[in-house]
Amino acid sequence: MNDKKNEKITSRDVDFAKWYTDVCKAADLVDYSSVKGSMIIRPYGYAIWENIVSVLDKMFKATGHVNVQMPMFIPESLFNIEKDHVEGFAPEVAWVTQGGNEKLEERMIVRPTSEVLFCEHFKKIIKSYRDLPLLYNQWCTIVRWEKETRPFLRSREILWQEGHTMHATKEEAMEETLRMLNVYRDLQENYLALPVIVGKKTEKEKFAGAEASYTVEAMMWDGIALQNGTSHYFGDGFAKAFNIQFLNKNNELETPYQTSWGVTTRMIGSIIMVHGDDHGLVLPPKIAPVKVAIIPIGEVDEVLDKIIEELKTKDISFTVDKTDKSPGYKFAEAEVKGYPIRLEVGKRDLEHEEVTIVRRDTLEKSKIRWEDAVSRIEELLEEIQKDMLEKARKRRDSMIYDAKDYDEFLEIAKNKNGFIKTAWCGNEACENKIKEDTTYKSRCIIEECHDENCVCCGKKAQYKIYWGKQY
């Protein structure tokens, strides 16, 4: 019983990248197969995704969206219709060239995203203003032929949702773009306990084919950024390319305005890298598949049964480890898996009518009368959820730096990881120079700023912007 699961985890201070993959494996989240670049999402990892999907799908439906399922293949000619889009995606698509024993007349890509499929469909079903807004979402798998892959962060196959909506006016489309950005913020802050910065991508970093892209940016424990979701305003670019029109109330033809927005299993990567520690995963209670790990020590069935009964009544998910492994091994395993609460029900504690409760986020232990355990657990789950967000927010804020001039920027970039907040002139030349000098990329523009100077070129600024290294 010496190979405690968490003893196999590299310390995050020693090698954060190694720590990350160790946790992914040790917590049974993923595994590899002979399919290069793809991962197996194991039941425990998939259960986290199912919980996220369940929360988000309700949010989508509450905001009037319906789910749909489009084909997974895109014929080359359809893919080629919107020029910027093709240029953006062509280098990273998988090509199907043969079906059964016959070579295809027209080869097809496996969808890397489905804008063109939705546009083709929208052209058929949008006729009048009565058909708008059209608020569609799709849960599916997409494929992008990445060279280097990491579990949840970058994979050739990605589980995601993609929203695609059409609106009669620019204003409505922009409203939708920002509404869904806020839905993502809500999900990430209030369920995943991830403090996020929302803002606009620069021209250079926006989605291929979009007029404007908005982003939800999280900072990992090591100060590196992860783009956790995007919401795009397309204007009428795709609609014009696909010749989508509708009759307005005056019976005149108009072109509608479009949005798209998506999040992926990458958010699970954020959860791991924001909350995890050297003992393993730490899951926010609201999306943890198992909220309480019960570890009986000795003959305690009578009390155990009563506690289990109460947990069931209150619909709190739990697991009971009755295997013949040692208590120490079981504690370690519960920590690796990131169960929010560990409940130790021991024969000796019970002599004093007590059980031991351990919070996974702080590893704090406390004893409590066993009859009060479940109501304490209920409270604690809420506290843990709140505390995890606050703890992550404090750490993130402590790694956000202001830089007034380029020397300061270079100094911070050289010595620290984190986000650097500066004024920026809006020119791609400065964006490129910063990236070249420091590997920092623009994360997002958060507001207009006209009374300061660009941190790079010193000319009059236009925006306040965050910079950071990224996964």
Q: Which residues sit at the interface with a second copy, rule CB under 8 A?
A: 31, 33-36, 38-43, 46-47, 49-50, 66-75, 77-78, 91-101, 108, 110, 117, 120-121, 124-125, 130, 136, 140-141, 143, 145, 156-157, 159, 323
Nearer to a second copy, 214 or 339 (CB): 339
CB of 409 to a second copy, least distance (A): 34
Nearer to a second copy, 77 or 375 (CB): 77
Between the two ends of the chain, the Cα-to-Cα distance in Å is 36
CB of 442 to a second copy, least distance (A): 25
The answer to whether the CB of 156 falls within 8 A of the CB of 146 is: yes
Round to whole Å and give the CA distance between 23 and 12: 10
**Cα dihedral angle (166, 168, 170, 171), rounded to 10 degrees?**
-100
Question: In terms of residues, how long is the chain?
Answer: 471
Round to whole Å and give the CA distance between 343 and 300: 13
Round to whole Å and give the CA distance between 213 and 197: 14
Tokens 């000795």, located at residue:
298
Nearer to a second copy, 75 or 338 (CB): 75
Q: Which pair of structure tokens corresponds to residue 342?
A: 């560990």
Backbone angles phi, psi at 237, to 5 degrees: -60, -55
Distances (CA, A) of 158 to 53, 169, 182: 14, 32, 22
CB of 78 to a second copy, least distance (A): 5
Q: Which distant-in-sequence residues (6+ apart) come within 8 Å of 203 by Cβ?
A: 428
Nearer to a second copy, 108 or 461 (CB): 108
CB of 74 to a second copy, least distance (A): 7
CB of 64 to a second copy, least distance (A): 12
Decide: residue 139, CB within 10 A, 0-12 exposed, 13-18 middle, 19+ buried: middle
Nearer to a second copy, 100 or 252 (CB): 100
Tokens 């280097």, located at residue:
148
Round to whole Å and give the CA distance between 86 and 83: 5
Nearer to a second copy, 16 or 73 (CB): 73
Nearer to a second copy, 33 or 415 (CB): 33
CB of 286 to a second copy, least distance (A): 19
Distances (CA, A) of 134 to 117, 127, 239: 15, 11, 13
Nearer to a second copy, 75 or 468 (CB): 75
The identity of residue 219, as a single letter, is M
Round to whole Å and give the CA distance between 69 and 135: 13
Q: Which pair of structure tokens corresponds to residue 88?
A: 């953006």
Nearer to a second copy, 136 or 370 (CB): 136
CB of 178 to a second copy, least distance (A): 24
Nearer to a second copy, 16 or 139 (CB): 139
CB of 190 to a second copy, least distance (A): 24
Round to whole Å and give the CA distance between 268 and 198: 18
CB of 60 to a second copy, least distance (A): 12
Round to whole Å and give the CA distance between 313 and 451: 59
CB of 68 to a second copy, least distance (A): 5
On the CB side of 11, CA atoms within 13 Å amount to 2
